[in-house]
Structure 1
Amino acid sequence: MIEPPRPRSPLAMVLLALLAEEPMHAYRMQQLIKIRRKDDVVNVARSNSVYQTIDRLLRDGLIDVHEKLAGGVGPGRIVYAITANGQKTLRQWTDTMLSTPAREFPEFRAVLAVLAIMSPDAVRAQLERRAEELQSTLAQARREQQMARKLGLPRVLMLEHEHMVAVTRAELTWLRNVLADLGSGKLTWSTEEMLAIRDKFES
């Protein structure tokens, strides 16, 4: 089965989408990502991440140099534009990412897969802390939704925020159920039992 086309990173798609609006330089792209709060969905914590992604897009022929702006006191800036191949690729990426769930490897699911090495009490303590963090996230999200409504932002600009809220609420509901089962003893285990089960199924 042929794997549907996906970007190497979500940042590549976001940069292409920005250039689909109009040509711009790297610093402007970085500014818009932060102004529009897209740094919640793509990682631009490292200052050179945008520039590294731009280099890959250039090598792949998805963008090219539109013009070079002379600098005043500092260095000049290069303005980039999306190519015809970039437009086609952006459409392929967005179609695939909207329609086909990706096989992802989130760290929370990874740690859930090895919980048997910890005691139920230790797991419960850490999951209680996680539940508190998720509640804080939802509280902040509600404030941001209220602000978006006051500003009159179109809903389409907040869909990724809506999705985050829905996923966070679902996780919090699941987490509270797990915590209740841990608290009542309905969910419990011992390392010895888990090793015996492992030996049984791996022999």
Structure 2
Amino acid sequence: MSTRRSPLAMAVLSLVCEAPMHAYRMQQLIKERHKDDVVNVAQRNSVYQTIDRLLRAGLLAVRETSREENRPERTVYEPTDAGRETLRQWMRTMLSTPAREFPEFPAALAFLPVLVPDEAGAAVEERVASLEARLSELDCELVETGRFLPRVFLVESEYQRAVLTAELDYVRGLADDLRAGRLNWDYRL
């Protein structure tokens, strides 16, 4: 049985390949390692749903279930051989083959004329400020984590920085064009 690939499923399998662990620990490590920048763990339930899916697919197995005093029961998971091989296959595919993704920002650009120019300009200026703040945060994270982690554990942050820098350059130019009135809103033929 095969299962659908996702960044969260990849993260879960990757973590249990490091060491058997329970779901709460997985979520903690993803956040501690700043992998929540690339893997959505905002809702803890999504981790449990992903684990259930991987269990049904035979990619994870229950290693043990334990209960400590005044604590909820904890199930520790480990990868199966099929899970290890599937993770390696997913990694090869995800690294080698660009995926067709549908982020919100290009969709918003596609329908920019829904807003009046001043409204669009204000929204784009807000995006510039948000991108600048995120770039500053990312630079600090890279410096800080670069002090104790080898670069191989930071390459996704380097990639995010490159993409963020490119987006910021584009959005700044778009903001300039909106301010200067270089975008023609009169698209009626």
Match among 74, 84, 90 for residue 93 of structure 1: 90
Counterpart CA distance in 2 for 1:54 and 1:72 is 25
Contact 2:3–2:53 (8 Å) recurs in 1: no
Counting only pairs closer than 5 Å after superposition, residues 13-92 of structure 1 correspond to structure 2 as: 13-92=10-89
Following superposition, the deviation at residue 6 of structure 1 comes to: 8.3
Does 2:139 match 1:145? no
Size of the aligned set, in residue pairs, is 188
2:159 is aligned with 1:167? no
- What is the identity, as a one-letter code, of the residue corresponding to 1:178? L
From 176, 180, 187, the counterpart of 1:184 = 180
8 A contact 2:3–2:57 mirrored in 1: no
Deviation at 1:189, TM superposition (A): 1.3
Structure with greater Cα Rg: 1
Query: Could you tell me which residue of structure 2 aligns to residue 126 of structure 1?
Result: 123
Q: Which runs of 5+ in 1 are unaligned?
A: 197-203
Structure 2 distance, partners of 1:178, 1:97, is 31
Cα RMSD over matched residues? Answer: 1.7
Query: What is the aligned-residue identity percentage?
Result: 53
Higher alpha-carbon deviation: 155-164 or 40-49: 40-49
Which TM-score applies when normalising by structure 2? 0.92
Which consecutive unaligned segments of at least 5 residues does structure 2 have?
A: none
